[in-house]
Amino acid sequence: MSDLFNQAQPEILVSVKRPLADLMRPTSFDFVVGQERLLGPNTTLSLMISRGSLSSFILWGPPGVGKTTIARLLSTSFEIHFEQLSAIFSGVKELRNIFDSAKIRKKNGKSTLLFVDEIHRFNKSQQDAFLPHIEDGTIVLVGATTENPSFSLNSALLSRCQVLVLDRLSVQDLEKILTNIQIKMNNKLLLSLDAKSALIDLSDGDARSLINMIEQIFSWNLDKQLDRESLIERLSKRMPNFNRTGEEHFNLISALHKSIRGSDPDAALYWLSRMMDSGEDPNYLFRRLTRIALEDIGLADENAKRMCLESWKVYERLGSPEGDLALAEVTIYLALAVKSNAVYMAFKNSKSAAIDNGSQPPPKHILNAPTMLMKEQGYGKGYKYDHDYENSFSGQDYFPNLIKDREYYNPSNQGAEKDLRAKLEYFKSLRKARES
């Protein structure tokens, strides 16, 4: 039930009690708020309408941005039958009934637009059920999803549908909706400017949420203006848009990781707070922060991983909210730490080499020979015991015979790695001297 509107709608009788969202549902694309990138001139949808050719597509965007509205308006524009179902509450039986009815309509020269909300909730076999009916023109499928289609929909279905992306509604869009509701209802919200701003913030880019909260405020029959604090006390705060298993989860952790890598503690704290406020598991956050210490700091600052593990222990003892500061502290420390990905790259390249070169055996001189047969085969022959040499360094080769002179670890000149680089160069010089 989404809906968005751009200006006062044509007069509708309001004597019958109807949900505000239904009352404000746009009656044409001219009344839809936002989504200019999707609905503007020469866009995919506008060209479909102007050419009179409707094809199947997937609408991908956050909640309450107009996915249902767009599907309904398309069915009206093309004068075709509209069917709607939710993947949460529907299964094979419901799909079969819709397909059977659509086939009858097709025989009678009538097309069917099937709008499937939360289409990502269908499993692979259920998604496959759409394919023959899309291909033979029985239905035009319009799927709606809040999850990244490349992760949640199978490739066969994606190959038959365009993916159209809807944007999160801006503050200006939501303010326009708020204003037009007051005009439509001929009823002004008794809220201060700060309270209206808080209402917009709480809606979090979701028009449906905004409309529902406005409807709730109207039901209070206020006789005096509410300020920001009073409004927030009355409204149950909406949980920010966040799904621990969905794209938003990975987007936020990516933002946190890159902010730390970019040595921006303020941005890192912001993304950390976003995830914590959304109910993210603190253990997951500590695990990812420790990974960042290993990947982006490495041996340039060995205190980084110790800081992660110690802060983790502190949190386990204190819990939330007292232990939340441990997360904040380690985030700041990692953001300001000397950065080096030398260990990460060395390990990555060595793994690739291990795969590319197959099962190369170690050179025989570094193998143990516990049996006479192995000795006869040359196991251990020529091995140099490093402690018998000056500086406890023999300079012998430890790579497989077919792999020589590989270098994977290239320490930076930053932090503690500067000393490690010097050590590495020292051993390289000794090896060259022994070889000459």
| Domain end call among 133, 165, 197 | 165
Calculate mean pLDDT across residues 293-299.
95
Assess if residue 284 is contained within a domain: yes
Assess if residue 7 is contained within a domain: no
pLDDT grade for 4, boundaries at 50, 70 and 90: very low
Closest CA to 382 of 404, 399, 397: 397
Assess if residue 115 is contained within a domain: yes
Assess if residue 271 is contained within a domain: yes
Confidence (pLDDT) at 27:
85
Calculate mean pLDDT across residues 350-363.
83
Task: Name beta bridge partners: 117.
Answer: 86, 144
Same domain, 105 and 157: yes
Q: Domain tally for the chain?
A: 4
Confidence (pLDDT) at 114:
96
Same domain, 197 and 268: no
| Domain end call among 305, 336, 367 | 336
Range of the domain at 323: 247-336
**Selected residue with higher pLDDT from 277 and 118:** 118
Same domain, 308 and 397: no
Same domain, 189 and 159: no
| Domain end call among 128, 143, 165 | 165
Q: Could you report the per-residue pLDDT of 198-247, keeping only the tens digit for each? A: 899 888 888 988 998 999 898 888 889 999 888 888 886 555 555 555 66
| Cβ(10)–Cβ(27) below 8 Å | yes
Element (H, E) at 86: strand 81-86
Same domain, 114 and 155: yes
> 43: which residues sit within 8 A by CB, 6+ positions away?
37
Q: Could you report the per-residue pLDDT of 9-67, keeping only the tens digit for each? A: 444 444 446 788 888 888 888 888 888 888 888 888 888 888 888 999 999 988 889 99
Written as six digits, the tokens of 349 are 């390249």
For the whole model, what pTM was predicted?
Answer: 0.61
